[in-house]
Structure 1
Amino acid sequence: MVTLEDPIEIGGTTIPNRLYRAPLLECAGNGPDAVDALIDDLEPAAASGVGLLCQGATIVRGDGGCAAPGMTRVHDPEFVSRLSRLTDRIHDHGSRIFLQLEHGGLRSMETWHAEYRREHPDLEQLAVSEPPWQLQSLDRLGFLEYDPHVLTTAEVYDLAADFGRSAEYAVDAGYDGIHLSGANMGIVQQFLSPFYNRRDDEFGGSPEARLEFLALVHEEIRERAGDVPLMTKVPAETPAPPSPLVRRKLSLEDGIEIARRLEEIGYDAVVPVQTSVVWDMSIVRGEYPERAWANEGLQAEYDAAFGGPTHKRLVSVANRVQSLQYDFEPAWNADFCRRVRERVSIPVLAEGGVRERARMDRLLGDSSGESSDGGESPACDMVGMARPFYAEPRLGARLLETGSEDDGSRVLCESCNNCTVPQVTGAPGICRTPDVLRKRGELERNGAYERT
C-alpha cells in the first residue's frame, strides 16, 4: 500500500513524502527583498512537512518573457547565489525544493499588459513561429498586441543554453532539482504544440521535431548542471476552444507519447496537465472571481494592465464565460496521469483540483492496487496542490499523517479564484476570501497546523 507519507526518489534524490506544493506565482521579483519574500512564501509549507516544494516559474533571461508582473528572473548568477538562504531554510525542515524555469514567449507581458508595453516600446515577444491566425485576429481587434521576433535556429540553441545556465546557477545555490514549465502556454508548450510550431527546421515539422527543444534543454542542463533531477510539465491541449477555431492541437494521445519520449531522452519525472492553447481558466478551474473584479482598491491597476475600463470589462466577461466552460472538476488531470503512468517507469506527478486527503490516497493507489476514479491502476506517484497553499500556507500539517477518513483532511480552498486576478497587477498570491480566512484562523487557534 502506497501512502502519502511514503518517501519517493526522483532522479536519485529522495523526497521524504509524496505531497508537493505545485508551482505558484510568488510575485517576489528580483529586488533587495526578493529572497525574504520567497522565504516568507515557501518556508511555511516546508515547516508543515510538505516533501517537495516547486518554486513558481522563474525567467531564464534578463529581458522580456515574464507572463505576469513580479516574476523572478534567474539569469544572474549573483542574484541566484543569494537564493541559497531560501534553499537552506527549506532543507532545515527536511524538505526538498525544485526551481521551475520558464520563458513566456508569446504569453508575455509584452502581449497583454498595456502599461508594460508603453514602458518597453522596443520589446518584442519571442516566438516559435509567426502567431496563429486566431491570435493575429485578436491583435487586429485590439484585445492583444503582437510584435513577435521569430527565433532563428541559432537563437533556439541560445535559448536552450539560457535554461542550462539558469539550472547551473540553481544547483550551485542548493536547489535539489529543476522543473520546466512545459505547459500554461509558455515557450516550451509553444515548441511542442502544432498550434504554435510551424517551423521548417530541426525544431518543427513533425511531432518528433517539435520535441527537439526539450531534448536540447535536457542536454544543456546535463552538461552544465550535472545529473540534477529534471522534470517537466507535459501538456495535452484537450480543453482548447471548439474545433472550428482550433484544429491543430495536442491530443491526449500526443501528450502520452511526449511523456514516453521524454523518459527516453532522460527526464526523471513528468507532470501531465490538460491545458488550453491560450492562457485561460483551464489551469485554474473554478468559480468566476467576482470579489476580485469588484475590488475597488485595484480598479486603477486593472485599467493600467488591460488598457482602460473597456478592455478591463471585456476581460472580466471572458473570465466569466471561461468559468462556465472550465467548471471545477475534482482531480481533472487524473485520467491523463494514469494513462501516462501506464507507459512510463519514471514518477508521474498529479495536480489540478485535488482537494482532500481521501482522494490523494486513491490517486496514489489503495491496498488493492486500484485507484481513485474508476481506473484500474494508481494515477500517480506524487500529489500536488497550488492555490490551496495560498489559503493555508502550512497545509501539509493538516494532511500528512491524518489518514483518508479524517474529517479535517479537506483543504479550505474553495477554488473561487479571487486570489488569481489581482496578480495581473503584481499583487502577492494570497487568499482573499473572508470565510476561508476565518476558518483558517479557527484552525490556527486549535493548533491544526502544528506538526506532531
Structure 2
Amino acid sequence: MTTPRLEDPVDVGGFTLRNRLYRAPLLECAGNGADAPEILASELEPAAKAGAGLVCQGATIVRENGGCAAPGMTRVSDPTFVDSLRTVTDRIHAHGSAIAIQLEHGGLRSMETWHAEYRREHPTLRQLAVSRPPRLLRLLDALGFLDYDAHVLTTEEVYELAADFGRSASMAVDAGYDVVHIAGANMGIVHQFLSPFYNRRDDEFADGVRFLEVVADEIRAHAGDVPLMTKVPAETAAPPGLRPHLTEDDAVDICRRLADYGYDALVPVSGSVFWDASIVRGSFPARAWRDERYREGYADAFGGPVRARLVELGNRIEAAWYDFDPAWNASLCRRVREKVAVPVFCEGGIRERGEIDNLLGDACDAVGMARPFYAEPELPARLLGPDVSGDTRVVCESCNNCAVPQVTGASGVCQTPSVLRRAGAHRKEGSYTRTTEIGTGDDDDPVG
C-alpha cells in the first residue's frame, strides 16, 4: 500500500476529514458566559483557516455542576447554551475543516479536589468517584494537599452519567459538531473507570470498558451515527512499584474491544495514574512560576504561598522525571494499529514534518498537536503542502510556560519570548498564509 501523506484525506466512521493533521484538545478557558461562543471561535478558527483537517474543542463538561478539572472549562448541559455554539461550528466549517467536541467529567480530578479557593466557594460539592479514592490519595487528603468528600457512584448513577454523555453529544451534533471525542485519559472519570488503580467496583462496571460501551450506546441512541472517538490510556509512566495500573498490553486490549464495539477512531496515550507532567512532558516552566501576575492566583489555587511553593517543587521534580520524549506515544499507537481496523490518531511530542511523515502509515493514520497551537494558532499553514520540507519544525519548545498559569484561570497562550519571536518572524515572512493546495479551493487565504 502507498504510504499516506499528511495532505491525504482520512475516513472516520463514514465522515471524511480533508487531511490527517488535527488540532488536539486544549484548554480554551471559555467558560459559559455570553461571550463563550466567540472566545471558542476565536481560539479554534485559526487552525481551520490554516488548513487543519480536524479541530478538537477541548474537554467540555457534561453536567451542570462539578466535574471541571481546571478553571474556565465549558459545560455542555444546557440546550440553549449549546445551541449558541453554532457560531463556533459555522466558523470552522466555513474554512472546510471538521470540528470535534471532547466530552469530559473530571471525577476525582475535579477542582473540588485540588483548588483551595474553589473548595471554599463550593463547600457542599462532592467529587464523583468510581470507587473509594486509593490509599495514596487519601494520605494526601489527610496531609491537607487534597480534599476528598467523594460520592461513589451506584450502578444506576453510572448509567445516568453515561446518559449525560449521550444527551450532551446529541445537543452538540444538533449544533453542528461533526465528531464526538470522549476524554478517556488524563485521569478524568473515564480513565478512572478503566484504571485498576481507581476502579475496585463489584458490579458490571468493575470492567471499566463497560462504561465506554454504555457511553457509546447512549450517544448512538441520542445522536445517531456520529463519528465517535476516544483516548485510551496506558499508565506506563506510573511511579516504579505502583500497582495495580494499566499496562501497555491492557491499553492495546481496550482499544481492540472498543474498535469491535463500534468506536470509529482511537487515540492511545501513555501517562501516569496521576494528573502530572507525564501528559505535558517538557521543561520545568520556571518563567511561569516566577511571573508576578500569577503569584496570587497560585496561592488561591493551592491554599497559600507556602503550599504553592511546594507544588512548584513537585512540578520541578516531575519535569526532571518526565523529560521531553519526541512522539512518546508512537510505539503504543503502532501496537494498537496492528490490532484494529479503525484509524489510530497519534499525539504527544510530535514537532516536525519529517517525524509526521515517518509516523503516518506506520504508527498511525492521523497526527495531532496541542501545545504548539498556543504559539502558532495557524500552524497547519506551515506543515501542510506538497513542498513542505521534512525539517519544518514547530516553534514550540515544550517549556510548559503556557500550561501552569491555567490553574489560575489564565488563557492558554505562549509566554516564552524566544518562541514568540520565531513565530513573529514566520508571520512577517508570510508563512501563515494558506494556499489552495491545503485549503478548500479558495484563493490564497491569509491567516490572522
Give the TM-score band, short-chain normalised: over 0.9
Which residue of 2 is the match for residue 433 of structure 1?
416
Give 1:168-247 correspondences, 5 Å limit: 168-204=170-206, 209-243=207-241, 246-247=242-243
Q: Find the partner of 1:379 among 348, 355, 363.
A: 363
Structure-2 separation of matches of 1:281 and 1:350? 18
Q: How does 1:31-430 map to 2 (within 5 A)?
A: 31-204=33-206, 209-243=207-241, 246-365=242-361, 378-401=362-385, 403=387, 405-407=389-391, 409-430=392-413
State TM-score, norm by structure 2: 0.96
Query: 1:103 and 1:402 mapped to 2: Cα distance?
Result: 40
Cα displacement (A) at 1:110: 0.3
- For the residue of structure 2 that corresponds to 1:327, the secondary structure is coil
Q: Please say if residues 382 and 388 of structure 2, whose CA atoms lie closer than 8 Å, have aligned partners that are also in contact.
A: no
Question: Alpha-carbon deviations, 1:267-326, whole Å to 9, x = none?
Answer: 000000001111000000000000000001111111000000111011000100000110
* Alpha-carbon offset, residue 241 of structure 1: 1.3
Q: Distance in 1 between matches of 2:434 and 2:203?
A: 54
The match for 1:369 is none
Q: Which amino acid aligns with 2:177?
A: Y
Query: What amino acid sits opposite 1:219 in the alignment?
Result: D
Shift of 1:406: 4.8
- 1:36-66 deviations in whole A, cap 9, x for unaligned? 0001100000000000011000000000000
Q: Residue 332 of structure 2 aligns to a residue in which SS? A: helix
User: Aligned partners of 1:395 and 1:385: how far apart in 2?
Assistant: 10
Indicate conservation of the 8 Å contact 1:358/1:403, yes or no.
no
Q: Distance in 2 between matches of 1:90 and 1:235?
A: 29
- Return the letter of the residue paired with 2:325: E
Conservation of the 8 A alpha-carbon contact between 1:27 and 1:429: yes
Q: C-alpha distance in 1, partners of 2:281/2:232? A: 18
Q: Is the 8 A contact 1:303 1:312 kept in 2?
A: yes
Separation in 1, partners of 2:65, 2:133: 20
In structure 2, the partner of 1:371 is: none
Q: Secondary structure at the match of 1:122?
A: coil
Distance 1:403 1:74 in 2: 41
Structure 1 partner of 2:428 = 445
**1:168-211 CA distances to partner (integer Å, 9 max, x unpaired)?**
0000000001000000000000000000000001101xxxx221
Q: In the alignment, is the contact (CA less than 8 A) between 1:237 and 1:276 conserved in 2?
A: yes
Bigger shift: residues 59-68 or 135-144: 135-144
- Kept after mapping to 2: 8 A contact 1:27/1:70: yes
How big is the shift at 1:405? 3.0
Contact 1:357 1:403 in 2 (8 A): no
Cα distance in 2 between the residues matched to 1:50 and 1:144:
39
Q: Percent identity?
A: 67
Q: Which amino acid aligns with 1:387?
A: R
Give the secondary structure class of the aligned counterpart of 1:99.
strand
Gaps of 5+ in 2: 436-448
The aligned counterpart of 1:27 is 29
Classify the secondary structure of the residue corresponding to 2:64. coil
> TM-score w.r.t. structure 1 length?
0.95
